[in-house]
Amino acid sequence: MPPVVIDNPVINSAFDEPQRHFKFDEDGITNEISDYRRISHYFVPIARPKKKSQQLEFDLGLLSQDRVEENKTINRIRERVSLWRRSGHQGVTPTTRRLLEHWKNPDRERRLLQITKEWLSQCVTYKSGTFIQELLLIELAHDTADCIYRAIAGSEGSQKTLKPILRPYDTFGSTRYVDFDTTKPVYITDSTKCHISHVVADTDSWEQKMAQVLEDLPEVICYVKNQGLGFTIPYTLSGQQKNYTPDFIVRVKDGNVETLNLIVEVSGEARKDKAAKITHARQFWIPAVNNHGALSRWGIIEITDPWDAANTIKAFLSSPQTGGQVNDRD
């Protein structure tokens, strides 16, 4: 059957009665408009017995109009829903009523729809063999929503309005209370630069080299490896809420009267979760904390080569402050 093109199809609200109906024939939907909504039916196949090679066989392929029965359950539901719609949605809660009034309002602002359309047309690259419908897959749909949300909230105007929601308990952390045991490799710190006696390492050399660089930089007032501090930054990945634990927190002199609290992330292989952590911290957490006004100044930098970290940090400190938007991946 060739595909049927429906002229002037109606995209109907889920809360309204369908405004136009199309007829069906034996081959399926047609372009002919019907005066009413067709009643829901179902077929009842009746097997016709026949003998072949001494075996009883059944032919289930014969369907006729006399085997069509009305689907009374679905039709009753449709009738009740129709009455509910025409009666002004009786019995709904005030919140549901406000939502219904909002979504049924033809003059409501649809900025999010326009932003989504613009993002799909300008920001998505379709490689060979891919198509837009793949974004309906659950994981890709979550990633799409995250990207659009970050684009909206990370815009220049939106960043100025971001505000942090402080935890009601343990709002402010301190190295004073850090005390734990570990079996991981450690680096003994310089007590003039670090309040904690050791840096706990997850690798054989990266964290150790980073600590050495921070201790040698004259711009660094003090630093701490974020181990046992409980300092995390919330973010979302594939629709799931997660917590990002930065590697280092460094207090540095960058030429301003107030010192800068610099989050230093030591990254190896580029990964999807790592990119989501850094992006969320840059676009949301850093602007929100800085907008608070009473939590000092914060920035973030990503280091992919600890042996060149000194140059990367110095370049960041000498550049115009961009809220931690500089890293050595650029």
The reply to whether 205 and 285 lie within a common domain is yes
Whether residue 219 is found in the same domain as residue 290: yes
User: How many distinct structural domains can be found in the chain?
Assistant: 3
Domain range for 143 is 115-153
Q: Do both 251 and 299 map to the same domain?
A: yes
Strands 260-266 and 233-237 turn out to be unpaired
Give the CA count within 13 Å in the CB-facing half-sphere of 115: 14
Q: Has residue 132 been placed in a domain?
A: yes
CA distances from 256 to 187, 299, 318, 323 (A): 31, 13, 11, 14
Task: Write down the pLDDT at residue 324.
Answer: 43
Residue 277 included in any domain: yes
All residues at 6 or more sequence positions from 110 whose CB lies less than 8 Å from its CB, including other chains: none
Does this model's pTM top 0.75? Answer: no
Q: Do 120 and 93 fall into the same domain?
A: no
Are residues 141 and 103 part of one domain?
A: no
Same domain, 233 and 291: yes
Please check whether residues 139 and 243 belong to one and the same domain.
no
Please tell me the predicted confidence (pLDDT) of residue 252. Answer: 94
Bridge partners, residue 262, by sequence: 250, 299
Grouped pLDDT means (10 residues each) for the chain, 330 residues: 60 66 75 75 58 50 58 86 82 85 74 83 85 84 83 68 79 85 89 91 88 94 91 84 91 88 86 84 89 89 92 88 45
- The answer to whether residue 3 sits within a structural domain is no
Domain assignment present for residue 142? The answer is yes
Report the alpha-carbon distance of residue 326 to residue 330 in Å, rounded.
7
CATH code of the domain covering residue 204: 3.40.1350
- Cα–Cα distance, 139 to 239 (Å, whole number): 8
Are 62 and 124 in the same domain? Answer: no
